Structure 1
Amino acid sequence: MSARKNVLLIVVDQWRGAMLPKLGAGYLKLPNLDRLCAEGVTFRNHFTQAVPCGPARASLLTGMYMMNHRAVQNTIPLDSRFTNLAKELRSGGYDPALVGYTTTTPDPRKTAPSDPRFFVLGDIMDGFNPVGAFENRDAYFGWVASQGFDLPKIREDIWLPQGGAGTGATERAAVIPKDLSDTAWFTERGLAYLQGHGGKPWFLHLGYYRPHPPFIAPAPYHAMYRPEDMPKPVRAATPQEEAKQNPLLAYYVNNIKQASFFQDGQGLGSEMTEAEVAQMRATYCGLMSEIDDHLGRVFDYLKQTGQWDDTLIIFTCDHAEQGGDHYLLGKIGYFDESYRIPLVIRDPRASADATRGTIVDRFTETIDTMPTILDWLDLPVPRQCDGRSMLPFCNGEPPADWRTEVHYEFDFRDLFYSQPESALGLPMDKCALAVVQDESFKYVHFAALPPLFFDLKKDPGQFVNRAGDPAYAARMHEYAAKMLDWRLGFAERTLTGYRASPDGLQVRAA
């Protein structure tokens, strides 16, 4: 390998972690991700730290747990005092390019209230060079129009099914053709950057909007999968039975509208039949295959230009998708379907040859991504980072002291598009939950609701809450203590290594 070092960070949106052929999803047609898995390491138990997009991406790009960065929901600002991956790359001499989005709201103490970034769901995180921004979608829709496509009066109607309005999950193709899809646009922007960056070492955050809803795929991807081949939903016998588990779950079961996931959806997501869920999943898989085809273009370009063996490639996601499990759509609550995400790392160095094609079962977290990239580039990892480099797994030397559990959080305060706080009658700052889980048990702690405790060996679907079961009382106490230990051990510590002394300022490493 030459001294040149490039990084390709591929970040898809709303992709469930187990949905890779390498991890047993044999019904999926993803040949290009398959070859990435064959040449890299696939992580089976990789989790995001938070949902939805804004807090998830804040954790991904700052290396911090949500309890520390506190950008707890979409539209809620990220404190400007924190560094991030882009800023650290700049310190290392890189101009970090970004295709896609980060859903970051700026710090209002440093930004005028009239700033247009306060009128959208989120914008680009400071430090990135946006070479294909999607935050307000103007650039994408302008490109579509420039290709000779007549945009409808409502731009988003390009994601309606052909033949007029439908009723949500449909087997029909989107109005927009595949050559003009957002997935095609992201790829074109990424390739344009790679072709024009001038031969210097580069970093590219290549983001994709899919398989995020609306769940409508362009032809031929709309018909690539048969609904009857999709896994059955994991859910109780009825929505009413499901909702009994917890007040927050009841709120979402009774309030998630299909219209948020299908451009023309009707009714509640919990009202979807198994057949409708199966069709939705078939379309969801089609959107994955579309991304895979375009990733093939990017991988081929890197090989054709001699950059494949100079480039660290990471394929991951911000968060996952309930997909009808537990009668839920989207990324919410406390179930694994929202938090377990894909991760594949291809380290091109010879030191990683022995692990190519392997699967890591240890728990890894999205906060580990930033330290991994900085470690590979021989750049310092900021003390604010709560994660650790995963390169030892690629080198066949997993750390003996690696974590044995995973943690994630969810904040459900009111926003303009969702009001569980008001519905449940809770104080805003008490609308929070945190999870600790390992291979055997899962503990969900709420700030203002009763806890949940699941025996994952006996109840992998997480239907039976054991929190009130005397037989599990001691075990639940143990996991509550783990939660407290975690919060004490990872409290925000950017400045806690500094100290004044008779000899002046000292810095103590962790």
Structure 2
Amino acid sequence: MGQIRNILFVMYDQLRHDYLSCAGHPTMKTPNFDRLAAMGVRFSRAYVQSPVCGASRMSFYTGRYVHSHGAAWNNFPLKVGEATLGDHLRRLGVESWLVGKTHMRADAEGMARLGLSPDSVIGARVADCGFDVWIRDDGLVAEGPEGFYDSKRSPYNEWLRQQGYEGHNPWHSNANSGIDENGDLASGWLLKNAAEPANIREEDSETPWLTRQAMAFIEGHKGGAPWLCHLSYIKPHWPYIVPAPWHDLYGPDDVVPPVRDMAERDDPHPVFNAFMNNQPGQAFSRDDVRLSVIPAYMGLVAQCDDQFGKLLDYLQASGRMDDTMIVLTSDHGDYLGDHWMGEKDLFHDPSVRIPLIVYDPRPEADRTRGTVCDALVEAIDLAPTFVEAMGGVPPAHVLEGRSLAPFLHGEPVTGWREAVFSEYDYSAMALAGNLGLGPNEARLFMVFDGRYKFIHAEGGFRPMLFDLETDPQELVDLGKLPGHEAEIERLERMLFDWARRPAQRTAISHDEILGMRGKSRRYGIIIGAVDPDELAPDLRAKISGRAGRDYRG
């Protein structure tokens, strides 16, 4: 057990915080996730900065709030100039590599304006969130009447064709579809097919494929420079369909009852009402859908856990556990019918709260192994944690999170944050138009101080408020009830203070600013002095003395 040489940053897509057995799920079994938790620290109150793939991931990769980096929804470009994990780590001699998904769209216009060619090393890094790419596959090779959702090539789809899977899109027809009783395609896009096994060999499905890619990366970098490997899985994200033997590992009896109440439909907040009544919300409000889909979701999680176990075995056998920090997390959760909703999008805990387990191999972390930390943690805390782990000093004027090292090492922590913040920009969704909102109005902001969760909605709507001490399941919206004006005002003020932070002042550090104080006089800028005696001798020396030739006449 020594110093950290490498970081394995594992992210699952749409993995709920409570679908781990170590987090208390009554029927879900995740022995390998639990295995990591026994070796590290599980953070029980970790929150993403936006409950949607693209925006959340850009906050992970930049260490900055969505309000700062601006990539506020899926396929909103991350603007050129945003520093990323790769930028921070390369300064420390650490390579930063991607295996899997980023859901990042490059700022092509900004790159062209600056003359950055996507074919250059710098241009490729800018186009891939600062990572060097071992293999990138964003995992949604969906196709509709206007073409593919993701126009980039899919290495996984190409690999499937090389393995003999037929058709132009085996990602859909095999990895994410089954075969019905009539021999027809049972598309994973249709929730009624969730119980069908995917028409693919288990070892050829997405999760094992990416695990093998990660192992190949580690094998290929033995003895090289220190690295961060971002192993980014697409599952258990929809389509909700899974290959055998995982498709029937769980059944309806393993599905926990939904967290919802009819009172939530009584005079709901207009934005909440719109999400409850969109197609995913209507579908997951049906018990038959939940009892079909959730066992498939659990099967996807179980396969992820199984593959994670293979990865841990490999790291232990190769001796990499002694010098590799391992992080397990997710980009957001999944409602799965809770609060009458499907998908993610809003700020109830099933959506905005994530699993986070950190294994630190250093001896300083021995005292915290197997513990649970209930501090309020944000996804943006990982970037400064990584920088510090690799021997750097996190630049506080750029990275807006805080290092988790004190919690990992059992050290006293003072002045930790009072609240976590999350944002959601739904301006590109059809329901924003249905609500009559323009792009600047379809935005939500969450403040959670550990007890009260406050949600501000632009567009002239009232706020939402939940008291998780008396209502831990977030069923009663106090924002529509009298008597809570003081808490709403307090949390609004907290949001206002957060919004006023100097988030765009990233080109100069706090120490540089402090060093500039009073220095203009040292460079001859004298403002307000009336008499030379008011100035220090060395200052007045430059503006005193005999005049030269008189040119006035």
Same fold (TM over 0.5): yes
Helix, strand or coil at the partner of 1:351: helix
Q: What is the distance in 1 between the residues matched to 2:26 and 2:433?
A: 43
1:298 corresponds to 2:314: no
Residue aligning to 1:327: 340
Against the structure 1 CA distance between its residues 285 and 389, is the aligned structure 2 distance closer, same or farther, given a 3 Å change threshold? same
Residue aligning to 1:484: 496
Contact 2:156-2:171 at 8 Å conserved across structures: no
Contact 2:11-2:232 at 8 Å conserved across structures: yes
1:221 corresponds to 2:246: yes
Residue aligning to 1:440: 451
**Rg larger in structure:** 2
Residue aligning to 2:417: 403
Residue aligning to 1:265: none
Task: Please report how far the alpha carbon of residue 490 of structure 1 lies from its aligned counterpart in structure 2 after TM superposition.
Answer: 5.9
1:85 corresponds to 2:85: yes
Residue aligning to 1:380: 393
Q: What is the distance in 1 between the residues matched to 2:91 and 2:66?
A: 24
Structure 1 residue runs of 4+, over 6 Å off? none
Task: Please report how far the alpha carbon of residue 256 of structure 1 lies from its aligned counterpart in structure 2 after TM superposition.
Answer: 2.6
Task: Please report how far the alpha carbon of residue 216 of structure 1 lies from its aligned counterpart in structure 2 after TM superposition.
Answer: 0.4
Aligned positions of 1:295-374 closer than 5 A: 295-374=308-387
Against the structure 1 CA distance between its residues 39 and 477, is the aligned structure 2 distance closer, same or farther, given a 3 Å change threshold? same
Residue aligning to 2:468: 456
Q: What is the distance in 1 between the residues matched to 2:83 and 2:450?
A: 33
1:204 corresponds to 2:198: no
1:280 corresponds to 2:285: no
Deviations 1:377-398 (A, max 9, x none): 1123132111000011110014
1:426 corresponds to 2:451: no
Helix, strand or coil at the partner of 2:300: helix
Aligned positions of 1:172-211 closer than 5 A: 172-200=196-224, 201-211=226-236
Residue aligning to 2:133: 130
Task: Please report how far the alpha carbon of residue 440 of structure 1 lies from its aligned counterpart in structure 2 after TM superposition.
Answer: 2.2
Task: Please report how far the alpha carbon of residue 314 of structure 1 lies from its aligned counterpart in structure 2 after TM superposition.
Answer: 0.6
Residue aligning to 1:98: 98
Contact 1:362-1:404 at 8 Å conserved across structures: no
Contact 2:102-2:129 at 8 Å conserved across structures: no
CA RMSD between the two structures: 2.4
Q: What is the distance in 2 between the residues matched to 1:76 and 1:153?
A: 26
Residue aligning to 1:269: 283
Contact 2:2-2:363 at 8 Å conserved across structures: no
Q: Which of residues 195, 199, 208 in structure 2 aligns to 1:171?
A: 195
Task: Please report how far the alpha carbon of residue 454 of structure 1 lies from its aligned counterpart in structure 2 after TM superposition.
Answer: 1.7
Q: What is the distance in 1 between the residues matched to 2:475 and 2:309?
A: 40
Deviations 1:36-88 (A, max 9, x none): 00000001000001131111011001110111111111111112122110111
Residue aligning to 1:150: 166
Helix, strand or coil at the partner of 1:362: coil
Deviations 1:450-481 (A, max 9, x none): 11112222323323222243321112211111
Contact 1:334-1:435 at 8 Å conserved across structures: yes
Against the structure 1 CA distance between its residues 87 and 243, is the aligned structure 2 distance closer, same or farther, given a 3 Å change threshold? farther
1:252 corresponds to 2:271: no
Against the structure 1 CA distance between its residues 440 and 202, is the aligned structure 2 distance closer, same or farther, given a 3 Å change threshold? closer
Against the structure 1 CA distance between its residues 437 and 7, is the aligned structure 2 distance closer, same or farther, given a 3 Å change threshold? same
Residue aligning to 1:161: 178
Deviations 1:398-421 (A, max 9, x none): 41211232211111102xxx3222
Helix, strand or coil at the partner of 1:32: helix
Against the structure 1 CA distance between its residues 81 and 484, is the aligned structure 2 distance closer, same or farther, given a 3 Å change threshold? same
Q: What is the distance in 2 between the residues matched to 1:138 and 1:435?
A: 35
For structure 1, the 5+ residue unaligned runs are: 118-122, 259-267, 505-510
Contact 1:242-1:326 at 8 Å conserved across structures: no
1:44 corresponds to 2:29: no
Of 222-231 and 480-489, more deviation after overlay is shown by 480-489
Contact 1:10-1:206 at 8 Å conserved across structures: yes
Residue aligning to 1:263: none
Q: What is the distance in 2 between the residues matched to 1:224 and 1:83?
A: 43
Q: What is the distance in 2 between the residues matched to 1:203 and 1:323?
A: 33
Aligned-residue identity in percent: 33
Residues matched between the structures, number = 484
Read off the aligned partner of 1:192 and give its amino acid letter. A
Q: What is the distance in 1 between the residues matched to 2:135 and 2:42?
A: 28
TM-score by length of 2: 0.83
Residue aligning to 1:494: 506
Deviations 1:345-404 (A, max 9, x none): 000111111110000011100000000111111123132111000011110014121123
Of 304-313 and 142-151, more deviation after overlay is shown by 142-151
Helix, strand or coil at the partner of 1:492: coil
Q: What is the distance in 2 between the residues matched to 1:357 and 1:4?
A: 19
Q: What is the distance in 2 between the residues matched to 1:4 and 1:453?
A: 42
Read off the aligned partner of 2:206 and give its amino acid letter. D
Q: What is the distance in 2 between the residues matched to 1:198 and 1:397?
A: 33
Contact 2:157-2:169 at 8 Å conserved across structures: no
Of 61-70 and 437-446, more deviation after overlay is shown by 437-446
1:474 corresponds to 2:486: yes
Residue aligning to 1:111: 111
Against the structure 1 CA distance between its residues 137 and 16, is the aligned structure 2 distance closer, same or farther, given a 3 Å change threshold? farther
Helix, strand or coil at the partner of 1:132: strand
Task: Please report how far the alpha carbon of residue 137 of structure 1 lies from its aligned counterpart in structure 2 after TM superposition.
Answer: 5.7
Q: What is the distance in 1 between the residues matched to 2:130 and 2:419?
A: 32
Read off the aligned partner of 2:217 and give its amino acid letter. Y
Residue aligning to 1:141: 157
Q: What is the distance in 1 between the residues matched to 2:3 and 2:465?
A: 50
